[in-house]
C-alpha cells in the first residue's frame, strides 16, 4: 500500500519536471562533432581530393560495404575512379575513418538517411565527396609522402633532403 502511494507521488512530481521530448524534426538535437553518422569524402586545402585510393577503408570495413577502384591522373596522383558505399549495409563503426591515412574519409554527425527504396542507400563518389576539409583541417598527405605527383618535387617535402646526386664522388 505504502509503495503504491509512493509511486503515485513520484509520478505526480514529474508534472513539475522540465520536459525531455525534443520536437524532432522541427528541432534538431545537438550531436557532438565526433558523432559517427553519414560518411563523407573530403578535399585538402588546395581543393584536391584527399582520397588516394589505398583500399585501407575497404579492408577495414567489417561488413565489406565499401568498394572502389584506384586510378591515376597524368601526374601520377592517385584517386578513386569510383568510390561506392552501400549504406544499407554500413554499421557506422568508424573503422574506415580510423584506417584512412589521409583524413579523406570522415564520419559526420548526420544520420538522416532514411529511404523508401533500398537501392537509394547506395552512395557513389558524387554523393560522398564534399568540397571542404571536414573535421580535420590542414593535412595534406602528399606534402609528407615521398612520392612526386605534382604537389611538390622530390626532396621538397616536409623533413626531406635534396635528392641524392648519384654521380658525386665524395666519400
Partner 1 sequence: MSLEVRMVKITIDGKYYEVKPEKNLLESCLSIGIDIPHFCFHPALGSVGACRLCAVKKFRDIDDTKGRIVMSCMEPVTEGLIVSVDDPEAKAFRASVIESLMTNHPHDCPVCDEGGECHLQDMTVMTGHNYRRFDFPKRTYNNQELGPFISHEMNRCIQCYRCVRFYRDYAGGKDLNVYASRNHVYFGRHEDGPLENEYSGNLVEVCPTGVFTDKTLKRHFTRKWDLSNAPSVCVHCSVGCNTIASERYDSLRRIMSRYNGAVNRYFICDRGRFGYEFVNDEKRIETAQISPGKNKKPEPIENEQLLSSLHQLFSRNKKIIGIGSPRASLESNFALMSLVGKESFYHGISKKEYLLTKTVSDFLQNSGVHTPSLKQIEKADAILVLGEDLINTAPMIALALRQAARNEPDKEAKGKGIPLWNDASVRELAQDSRCPIFIATPFNDSLDEISKNIFHASSAEIANLGYAIALELDKKVPGVKTWGKDIQKLAGIIALSLKNAKNPLIISGVSSGVEGIIHSALNISMALLSVGSNVMLSLVLPECNSMGLSFLPGKSFEEAVLAAEDKEIDTLVVLENDLYRRASEESVNELFDRSNHVVVLDHLINKTTQKADILLPAATFAESEGTIVNNEGRAQRFYKAIYSKNQVKESWRWIENFLKISDENNSVSWNRLDDVVDSLVNELPLFSKLKKYMPDADFRMLNSKIPRQTMRYSGRTAMNANITVSEPKLSQDLDSPLSFSMEGQQENPPSSLVPFYWTPGWNSVQAMYNYLDEPDASMKGGDPGVRLIEPSGGSKNIYFNQAKGITEVQKDEWLIVPVYKIFGSDELSSVSSSILQRIQEPFVLMNQKDADMITLNDGDYVQLEILKISLRVKVKIENSFVTGLTGLSVNLPGMPFIDIPGFGKFHKL
Cα→Cα distances 146→15, 62, 151, Å? 65, 31, 11
Output the CA–CA distances (angstroms, integers) from residue 136 to 41, 65, 107, in the order listed.
Answer: 12, 24, 11
Residues whose CB falls within 8 Å of the CB of residue 61, separated by 6 or more in sequence, listed in order = 95, 96
Sites for partner 1 among residues 64-83 (CB under 8 A): 64-72, 78, 82
By CB under 8 A, the residues from 19 to 58 that bind partner 1 are: 52-56, 58
Q: Are strands 105-107 and 39-41 parallel, antiparallel or unpaired?
A: antiparallel
Residue (88 or 137) nearer to partner 1, CB: 88
Q: Which of residues 96-135 bind partner 1 (CB under 8 A)?
A: 101-102, 118-119, 121-122, 124
Residue numbers at the binding site for partner 1 (CB under 8 A): 52-56, 58-59, 61, 63-72, 78, 82, 84-86, 88-89, 101-102, 118-119, 121-122, 124, 141, 144-149, 154-155, 157, 159-168, 171
Amino acid at each position: 500500500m505504502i509503495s503504491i502511494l509512493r509511486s503515485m507521488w513520484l509520478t505526480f512530481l514529474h508534472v513539475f519536471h522540465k520536459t525531455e521530448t525534443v520536437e524532432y524534426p522541427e528541432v534538431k538535437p545537438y550531436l557532438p562533432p565526433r558523432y559517427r553518422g553519414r560518411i563523407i569524402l573530403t578535399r585538402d586545402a588546395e581543393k584536391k581530393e584527399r582520397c588516394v585510393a589505398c583500399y585501407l577503408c575497404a579492408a577495414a570495413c567489417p561488413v565489406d560495404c565499401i568498394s572502389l577502384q584506384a586510378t591515376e591522373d597524368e601526374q601520377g596522383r592517385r584517386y578513386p575512379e569510383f568510390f561506392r558505399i552501400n549504406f544499407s549495409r554500413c554499421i557506422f563503426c568508424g573503422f574506415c575513418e580510423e584506417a584512412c591515412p589521409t583524413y579523406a574519409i570522415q564520419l559526420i554527425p548526420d544520420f538522416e538517411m532514411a529511404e523508401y527504396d533500398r537501392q537509394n542507400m547506395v552512395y557513389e563518389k558524387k554523393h560522398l565527396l564534399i568540397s571542404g576539409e571536414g573535421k580535420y583541417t590542414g593535412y595534406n598527405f602528399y606534402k609528407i609522402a615521398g612520392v612526386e605527383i605534382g604537389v611538390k618535387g622530390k626532396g621538397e617535402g616536409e623533413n626531406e633532403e635534396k635528392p641524392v646526386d648519384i654521380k658525386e664522388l665524395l666519400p
